[in-house]
A and B are shown apart, each in its own frame.
Chain A
Amino acid sequence: MGKAILEAKGISKFFHDPNTIKVLDGISFTLEKGEFVSITGKSGCGKSTLLYILSTMDTDYEGDLFIDGQSMRNRKEKELARVRNAQIGFVFQFHYLLNEFNVLRNVMLPGLKLGVLTEEEIEHAAINKLKILGIENEALKMPNQLSGGQKQRVAIARALINDPLIIMGDEPTGNLDKKNSEIVFDIFQELATNYQQSLLIVTHDQEFAARTKRIIEMEDGRIIN
C-alpha cells in the first residue's frame, strides 16, 4: 500500500506525579496513507496519552515520532504548531468550537492561520467541507445554535480545512447518541474510502472499532494486537 505517513518508534512515557508510572511502554507502529485505524483499550491503558504524543501536543516522551518522514523530536514549539496546523486535523470528544465565531469562521480559522490561501479561497474550501458533511445550511449560525451532532460535524469540517495528512480523533463519538455516532462514523468511512483520508481514532466503543479497517488494541501501555 501507500507510504507511511506516521511512524512511532519505541515511544515510552512516564507520569511522575505522585509516583513514577510507566504509562506507555515502547509503542511502535506505522500508519499508511488512506488507512482508517482505531485504537481501543480499557480506560487508563494509555491510548489517549499515546494520541496526544502522536499529535505533537505532548512532547514529554521517549522514543521517536515521524510524521511524513520528519522526526518530531527536538522541534521548537512554533514548528510543532505549524505541523499540527498543516498536517493534523483534530476531532475531540467535546467539539471545542469558539462561541465567538460563527460556524463558517470556526471552520476557516486553521486555514487562515496556515495562510497559504486567500480568505476567499479558504471560505470557499470551508463551504465545500461543510457540504461534504451535509451542514452547509448551518454555515452562518453560531455554534450554540447547533445540536451536539451538528457541532461535532463542524469540528470535523474544521479538522479537514487544511487537507491534513491525518485526522486524529479522541473519542469523537463519546458524547453522541447512537444516531449521531452512526453519522460521524459514516463520515469517517466516507473520508477514508472516497478521499483516501488517513484516520487515527481513539475509542472505547468496540462496535465503532470493529468496523474500522485496522484495530490497534492496547493494554497497560503496550500494543497487544
Chain B
Amino acid sequence: MKLKLLASISISLLVARWRQTLVAAVGVTFSITMFIALLSFMAGLNAMLDGLIINRTAHIRLYNEIQPSSFQPIEHYGPLENGHHFIRSIKPKNDRMGIYNSAAITETLKHDKRVMGVAPKITTQVFYNVGATDLAGVINGIDVDAETKLFSFKDYVVQGNYIDLKNTPNSIVLGKGAAEKMLVQLGDVIQISTPKGEQFQLKVVGFFQSGLQEIDKVQSYCSTQTTQKILGESNTFMSDIQMKLVDINMAPAMAKEYHKVFGIEAVDIQTANSQFETGTKVRTLISYVVGITLLIVAGFGIYNILNMMIYEKMDSIAILKATGFSGKDVNAIFIAIALSIGVFGGLLGLLFGFGLTALIDQIPFNTSALPTIKTYPVDYSMSYYIIASIFSVFTTYLAGFLPARKASRIDPVIIIRGK
C-alpha cells in the first residue's frame, strides 16, 4: 500500500517532467548501448587476435629438448670433501629428436579426463629447392583429422582441400608466402631437401594462410606418415605431442605434472605466449574504463535533472512533509525516480546495444591476413549485458542518492513560511 503510494507519486513527478526524464533516460540508454557495443566489439577483436595464436597453439606441448645432461658422471661420487669439481663446455650427446615411447604417452593422455584432445606432430627443418636456390622452411607433420579438430587446420587452408593432405601420399600444403616465392600452383610438384641432405618430391595439394606472414613464408604441412618418410624414421616417430585441455587455466599445473610423469619437456600456453594475455587484459581494461566513463557522465545527467526537479518541486515536497510524509518517504520517492530512469534507460540500452552489436557483426571486414574473418568480429557474451545492467542501476542510484537526501532534508517550515 505504502510502496504503491510512493510509486504513484514518483510516476506522477516523472510524467510531469517527461521531457527532462526522457533526456536523462536517453543519456543512460546511449551509454549502455555504447558500453555493450564497445565491449562486445573489443572482446570479439580480442578473441580474434588471440585466436590467431591461441586457437592454433597447443595448451600443452610435450617435446624432447636436445640439451646437455644435467647430471654428470662425477656426481655419482657424492659431494667432494676437499674440493669442488668444475666441468665446463658440456655438450649435448647425439640424441634423437623424437619422443621416446610416444605411442604409450599418447594413449595415456587420451584417457586423461582433463584433456580434450591430443594431436601428434613432427617438426623438421627443410629447404625448398627453387631452381638454383634453397629457401629455408619448416615442415609440420600432422595428423590431419586431429589437427582440424583441435586447431581448426581446415579454416586456414585457403586453397585446395585440406583432406587431400591425408588422402594423397607424399603431398604438402604449402604456406601461402612460401608458395608465392616459389611461384607454384595447386597440383605442382616441388622438391625439398632434408637437413641430412636427402631430396624428396611432394605434390602441392593446398595453400595455407595463418595471417602471420612470417609463419606463412616458412611453414608447410604434411601428414605424419609423409614426414616420417622424409626423415627416414619409423612410423612411431614423433617430435611433439600437442594437447588441448578442457580448462585452459589448468595448463601450467598439468604441464609440470607431465614433465614429472613422462620425464620430457612440457610447456604450457601461458608460459609460451604470455604477451597475448597481457595485451588482452589491457585492451579489455581500456574498454571497461571507457564504458564506465560513459555511464558516469550519464549519471551526472540524472543528478542534474533530479536536482532541478527538486528545486521545482520544493512546494510539493514541503506539503508532502507537512501532511505526514516522512523524510524517508520523500527520499524513497526521489530514489525511485532515479532508479526508474536508470532501469528504463538501461533496458533500452541493452536492446540498442544488442542491435548495434549485431550491426557491427554485419559490417564486412576483409583482410588478407585473416582468411577466416568476413565481418567484424563481435562477442555476444551475456556477461556484458549483466555488467551493464548492474552498472546502470548502480550509477543511477548514486546519481539519485544526493538529490534524494537533499529532498528528504527539506524543512517544510522554511518553504511554507517563505511564501
Q: Which A residues fall within an 8 A CB radius of B?
A: 48, 52, 55, 57-58, 77-78, 81-86, 90, 92-94, 96-101, 109-110, 112-115, 119, 158, 162, 170
Contacts and interface: CB of A to CB of B under 8 A. Distances in A.
Contacts of A96: 315-316, 318-319, 322, 416
B10 to A, nearest CB: 10
Contacts of A84: 322-324
B336 to A, nearest CB: 14
Contact of A114 (B318, B320, B324, B419): B324
Contacts of B319: 90, 96-98
A52 to B, nearest CB: 5
Nearest to A158: B323
B418 to A, nearest CB: 10
B323 A112 contact: no
Given A93-B419, A112-B1, A112-B5, A85 B413 contact: no
A183 B329 CA distance: 35
B223 to A, nearest CB: 79
A90 B322 contact: yes
A92 B416 contact: yes
A93 B319 CA distance: 12
Contacts of B229: none
Nearest to B319: A96
Given A93-B419, A96-B315, A113 B5 contact: yes
Given A52-B417, A58-B413, A94-B419, A99 B16 contact: yes
B327 interface: yes
B59 interface: no
Which residue, B5, B315, B323, B416, has most C-beta atoms of chain A within 10 A?
B323
A77 B327 contact: yes
Contacts of B213: none
A172 to B, nearest CB: 12
B37 to A, nearest CB: 36
Contacts of B2: 113, 115
Contacts of A57: 321-322, 411-413
Interface string B1-40: 1100100010011011000000000000000000000000
A178 to B, nearest CB: 21
B328 interface: yes
B177 to A, nearest CB: 72
Contact of A100 (B1, B5, B15): B15
B365 interface: no
A100 B16 contact: yes
Q: What are the 8 closest A-B residue pairs judged by CB atoms, nearest first?
A: A85-B324, A100-B12, A81-B326, A96-B319, A110-B323, A78-B326, A100-B16, A112-B5
B262 interface: no
Given A94-B419, A96-B416, A55 B316 contact: no
B311 interface: no
A163 to B, nearest CB: 13
Interface string B298-342: 000000000000000001101111111111110000000000000
B412 A82 contact: no
Nearest to A171: B419
Contacts of A93: 419
Contacts of A101: 12
Nearest to B315: A96
Given A48-B417, A110-B323, 19 more contacts: A52-B413, A57-B411, A58-B413, A77-B326, A78-B327, A78-B328, A82-B324, A82-B326, A85-B323, A85-B324, A86-B324, A96-B316, A96-B318, A96-B319, A101-B12, A109-B9, A112-B1, A119-B1, A170-B416
Nearest to A100: B12
A112 B6 CA distance: 10
Contacts of A55: 322
Contacts of B318: 96
A91 to B, nearest CB: 10
Interface string B404-419: 0000000111001101
Interface string B377-419: 0000000000000000000000000000000000111001101
27 contacts: A48-B417, A52-B416, A57-B321, A58-B413, A78-B327, A81-B324, A81-B325, A82-B324, A82-B326, A85-B325, A90-B319, A92-B322, A92-B416, A94-B416, A96-B315, A96-B316, A96-B416, A98-B12, A98-B319, A101-B12, A109-B9, A110-B324, A112-B1, A113-B323, A115-B2, A115-B5, A162-B324
B326 A100 contact: no
Contacts of B15: 100
A194 B61 CA distance: 98
A95 B75 CA distance: 103
B321 A81 contact: yes
Contacts of B326: 77-78, 81-82
A84 B323 CA distance: 6
A191 B315 CA distance: 27
A223 to B, nearest CB: 21
Nearest to B5: A112
A178 B415 CA distance: 26
A34 to B, nearest CB: 23
Interface in B120-142: none
